[in-house]
Structure 1
């Protein structure tokens, strides 16, 4: 059980770090297209809604993958 918790915590940490890094890179290299927009530029910014559902699915699939790898990777010890 300890190995499972270490795996899940490390997986969650790495996933979060990669998401933050990719968001930073995408934001840094984003160039808005001001000329193709026919709308008047407003001074307000709107963001989409935040949901934790993809993270929950990711953790569930990581857990299942870990459990499958532990079942498949088990080696039987044969007493000679």
Structure 2
């Protein structure tokens, strides 16, 4: 697996996104091109567009508090909508 990740890193450094998937799967490439989530997708993310772990954690805590205040039927409605 290390060599696959190294190859993906090499391709990304040259501006190419990569999908690592089971090549033995029938029609693997057509499945990926059609947009289905197959395998592991590697893409470059600009460093200025990332959100810090602290901000993500705070957002998760905030969302958790909102969910805790909901009634069971309100939570079910949020999940099934």
Q: From the two aligned structures, give the one with the greater strand fraction.
A: 2
Higher alpha-carbon Rg: 1
The normalised TM-score by structure 1 is 0.26
Higher relative contact order (CA 8 A, sep 6+): 1
The normalised TM-score by structure 2 is 0.26
